[in-house]
Chains A and B, each alone.
Chain A
């Protein structure tokens, strides 16, 4: 089945540690996105990429980094500079532009 796979489902980070969240899609979509969701809130865009080897900051990019070396993969690194990383992280992909976005099942990140 085609879809988006996020791993791990749960992740714990120690103070001062960088962690990387995985996002893989086999939908042959050009565009990929990372969102953060806090309890009771909507999604906020962290980074997005419309094509391989290119990505743009979203509304809350500080403390995060991404790469897009392959069409299928768009990993997100939560760096130690992100002081409040506890949240639900969602990855999405689409054919781009106005096309609907397909979401993964999310990764819940917590601080130890």
Chain B
């Protein structure tokens, strides 16, 4: 099973760029890398997903090197409201037919604390 490793916690200040790196050495060929954000007592919210190189949307960027064994979530100019837990996930690598099962393995995530 593909597992991920990411820092338990990070601190930042408002207006700074935050980069959270995740390692996934056993990522399978067909797996995508997906990041979620979770606030207390709420369900996780999808942030960004990528397969290789760089992906950017309105809230974040995702950098994936050629070997895909790690990825970095970049949050530009964070605010206090970005204080949350961030999860990096890859698929479980198990396949049924032509697509994988969609099973995700959640680690403890990275707790980001943004200070004023």
Q: Chain A interface (Cβ within 8 Å of chain B)?
A: 4, 31, 33, 35, 40-45, 48, 50, 56, 58, 88, 90, 92, 94, 96-106, 108
Contacts and interface: CB of A to CB of B under 8 A. Distances in A.
A22 to B, nearest CB: 15
Interface in B67-105: 87, 91, 96, 99-105
B68 to A, nearest CB: 13
B96 to A, nearest CB: 7
Nearest to B4: A42
Contact of B108 (A31, A40, A94, A104): A40
B102 A42 contact: no
A92 to B, nearest CB: 7
9 smallest CB-CB distances across A and B, nearest first, come from A103-B43, A42-B106, A97-B99, A43-B106, A98-B32, A100-B46, A90-B43, A42-B108, A42-B107
Nearest to A102: B46
A38 B105 CA distance: 15
A100 B99 CA distance: 14
Contact of B101 (A35, A48, A100): A48
Interface residues of B, number: 25
A98 B87 contact: no
B49 interface: yes
For the residues of A in contact with B, the DSSP-based class is strand
B43 A105 contact: yes
B19 to A, nearest CB: 21
A75 B103 CA distance: 18
Contacts of A97: 91, 99-102
Contacts of B109: 42
A87 B56 CA distance: 35
Contacts of B91: 97-98
Q: Which of B31, B104, B105 has the most CB of A within 10 A?
A: B104
19 contacts: A33-B102, A35-B106, A40-B108, A41-B108, A42-B106, A42-B107, A43-B106, A48-B102, A94-B102, A98-B32, A98-B34, A98-B91, A100-B34, A100-B49, A101-B102, A103-B44, A105-B42, A105-B43, A106-B43
